[in-house]
Structure 1
Amino acid sequence: MNKYKSVVWEDVQEGEKLPSYEYELSLLRLVAFVRASGLYDYVHFDGDYARAVGVRDAFIATPHVAGLFGRLLSDWSGPDASLRKLTFSLNKPSCVNDVLTVSGSITRKYRGEDGETLVDIDDLRISYPDADGAATGQATLSLPSRDGRPMQNRRATATKPATRIDPEMPEVAKAKIGVVSECSQGRSIPISEDELLLWCEAIEDWNPLYWDKEYASTTPHGRLIAPPFGMLLGPGSSVQLGLGYKRPGAATPLGIEKGLRGLPLLQSMRKGWADSSRPLSIPGYPELAVVKAETEFYTPLGVGDTIRVTEELLECSGRKKTRLGEGYFGVYVKLFFNQADDLAKCYTSTIFHYRV
């Protein structure tokens, strides 16, 4: 008998509200997420650095937002559901010590073309007292059905958005449009059980598929699977941001070689990290902010898997002015593959390259 309950599609009602929850975005949780994800970007734990780039304090990372939405969905649905798509916009930064309320409701219940039993949640929302809808989004879930039809992983080739040439984009971007490159976000070290537990602790997402090895072995997955939004950058991801660079064979960040200290050192290292982790670097616009993210999910990643990632710049805007500063909006697509070259997910993001 399954000791973890799951929602059945036939019992869902359109308009049904998902049980909301509160999440205090303490510095401890921000640091715990950095450790769990390997995303050692200073803006997500260093208030002084965040203020230097135009934000009021250290603020939540994009995959952290995705993780909170994922927890809302799996807390409600149970472990037998399968997430097909998540899209969200970051409308206002959620910063250290904000108390977040995460909510959503079912807007549509339907069968897919192949009979798959699906629900749409079109009003996902993360809010705090000064920001109703700091992040807003939509999701599609596949739920188990009483008809006994087994749920299947999606195996497909992602349909990428078309590239678009804006005549106002900088010349450096025109040369990068449509060029597919291997991304440093890939990893050759297999995903471990401990990494999944770190994620569960940071998000307080205790989906048994992520930690209960005995239970996971009885599911169609046959093993622990990774949270779909996990960065999973793995050990060594922090070298370019100043941790672990003394390891024999590791490259010393340029700012350290120059003898920089304090904020100038952090700015130098973050620029080097950003330049190496994105196919586009725009001279004079060193800061990055994700404003929208969309992920479609296919074969789940799990314990023992390695990851290969490709990235491509789809489009870049002309120069724009925003509350953060002046800069350019780039649209990127990343494809994540396991060691068997099965597509795991397709991640499309809109990133603002700016200067304060």
Structure 2
Amino acid sequence: MDRHSIYWEDVEPGQPLAAFTYELSLLRLVAFVRASGLYDYVHFDGEYARRAGARDAFISTPHVAGLFGRLLTDWSGPGGEIRSLSFSMRTQSCTNDMLEVTGRVGRCYRAEDGAYLVDLVDLNIGHALAAQAPTATATMALPSRSGEKARPLNATGSVQTDSSATDLPDFARPFLGKSRQAGGLPTRPLTKDEIHLWCEALEDWNPLYWDEGYAASSRHGSITAPPTSMFFGAGSAATLGVGYMKPGGHIPDAVRQGLTGIPLLQSLRQSLVQAGTLVSPPGCPEIAVVQAASRFFIPLMPGDTARIELRMKHCGQKKKTKLGEGYFITTERLLYNQRAELVRTQEFTVFHYQV
């Protein structure tokens, strides 16, 4: 990656971002699962994914976000700050699809806080079977030729409670406006090696993420994790069948019952669903993320720990789609570090369904 950062004054609306291709090989799917610790079987096990109604093992939501993040910072250089990223999953990208990641500059403007902002539009990941698999928009803060550095988003007033949703299914109504801490995150501090594994899986070589010498002289004073990154590695409660034989650890009921193969995986996967949402619709064991919108405030750094607070914002009535019948649930996740600083907010709309 070029270590030169683009200046706001040099950006023109309509300017294309430098596109790149990314082969979604099984190796890269597995590498990303290892880097994130998100051992969800649909993202590396083709047989399980097909049982869940997919064409093959398919890319995960954090993987998509990571590719869009790479597109943005490859273009801006390490001086740019991603303030927000929103994307829709139109269809799946599966094993061995050759992805093309593209986008262009939209509006250039000054924010109320004085930041030099650029909207990035028509962000897209396409492949031979889908010209638009996920599509996205984003906003970045850039440095100015005036000497002003890019400003991160201010977290003040960014957390809002919405308890006005109506027309909820009966099972979801008790959860509206409620919040709880999510499970699944490791209690051990984030390491440089975990960040580097993430970079390797995405081929994202922003020097802020891996070059300690460069990062030490940056505004952060240390390497940082990419803003879109999510880590569920060693020490995470969301084992999904990995590490359950650790001495003193909890052995899942499905293992005690002697289940094997797909039935075992289907049972274990419920721990992931339960960790990431406030409510699990009855009879809907599978999940697929439909939309995601994130706002970024400060980065995670080596040594940080994190916690997530969950809030359900809406649950629709039962619907039938090509995947199956189920419910669209929108949940907000607020990620904090160990100093209770807001790192990012994420709003996910997830389809909970039965094939």
Q: TM-score range by the shorter chain?
A: over 0.9
TM-aligned CA deviation for residue 229 of structure 1 = 1.1
| Amino acid of the structure 2 residue aligned with 1:251 | H
Encode CA deviations 1:36-87: one digit per residue, 9 max, x unaligned: 0010000000000000010010000000000000111111110000000000
Encode CA deviations 1:237-296: one digit per residue, 9 max, x unaligned: 376311111112211112111111111111011123312332111110111000000000
TM-aligned CA deviation for residue 299 of structure 1 = 1.3
TM-aligned CA deviation for residue 306 of structure 1 = 0.8
Cα distance between partner residues in 1 of 2:184 and 2:271: 15
Pairs within 5 Å for 1:216-227: 216-227=215-226
Encode CA deviations 1:188-211: one digit per residue, 9 max, x unaligned: 211111001101110000000000
Cα distance between partner residues in 1 of 2:146 and 2:238: 51
Q: Within the alignment, does 1:173 sit opposite 2:172 as a pair?
A: yes
Pairs within 5 Å for 1:79-94: 79-94=78-93
**Bigger Cα displacement from structure 2, 18-27 vs 114-123:** 114-123
- The aligned residue for residue 13 of structure 2 is 14
- The aligned residue for residue 205 of structure 2 is 206
TM-aligned CA deviation for residue 324 of structure 1 = 0.6
- The aligned residue for residue 44 of structure 2 is 45
Pairs within 5 Å for 1:105-144: 105-144=104-143
- The aligned residue for residue 300 of structure 1 is 299
What do you get for the CA RMSD once the two structures are aligned?
1.4
Contact 2:12 2:108 survives alignment (8 Å): yes
TM-aligned CA deviation for residue 161 of structure 1 = 6.4
Encode CA deviations 1:192-239: one digit per residue, 9 max, x unaligned: 110011011100000000000011010110001001111112313376
- The aligned residue for residue 100 of structure 2 is 101
Contact 1:104 1:125 survives alignment (8 Å): yes
Identical-pair percentage: 50
- The aligned residue for residue 244 of structure 2 is 245
- The aligned residue for residue 227 of structure 2 is 228
Cα distance between partner residues in 2 of 1:151 and 1:105: 20
**Bigger Cα displacement from structure 2, 236-245 vs 185-194:** 236-245
- The aligned residue for residue 314 of structure 1 is 313
| Amino acid of the structure 1 residue aligned with 2:349 | T
Where structure 1 has 5 or more consecutive residues not aligned to the other structure, the ranges are: none
Partner SS state of residue 131, structure 1: coil
**Bigger Cα displacement from structure 2, 153-162 vs 242-251:** 153-162
Q: Within the alignment, does 1:160 sit opposite 2:160 as a pair?
A: yes
CA spacing shift, 1:161–1:70, aligned 2, 3 Å: farther
Aligned residue pairs total 353
Moved over 4 A (4+): none
Encode CA deviations 1:114-135: one digit per residue, 9 max, x unaligned: 2211100121000001101100
TM-aligned CA deviation for residue 301 of structure 1 = 1.0
TM-aligned CA deviation for residue 150 of structure 1 = 3.3
TM-score, normalised relative to structure 2: 0.96
Partner SS state of residue 275, structure 2: helix
| Amino acid of the structure 1 residue aligned with 2:198 | W
Partner SS state of residue 137, structure 1: strand
- The aligned residue for residue 266 of structure 1 is 265
| Amino acid of the structure 2 residue aligned with 1:88 | F
Partner SS state of residue 171, structure 2: helix
Cα distance between partner residues in 1 of 2:58 and 2:198: 18
Contact 1:224 1:302 survives alignment (8 Å): yes
| Amino acid of the structure 1 residue aligned with 2:304 | D
Contact 1:190 1:304 survives alignment (8 Å): yes
- The aligned residue for residue 348 of structure 1 is 347
- The aligned residue for residue 34 of structure 1 is 33
Cα distance between partner residues in 2 of 1:152 and 1:134: 31
Cα distance between partner residues in 2 of 1:9 and 1:239: 42
- The aligned residue for residue 284 of structure 1 is 283
Cα distance between partner residues in 1 of 2:346 and 2:111: 22
CA spacing shift, 1:23–1:137, aligned 2, 3 Å: same
CA spacing shift, 1:240–1:164, aligned 2, 3 Å: farther
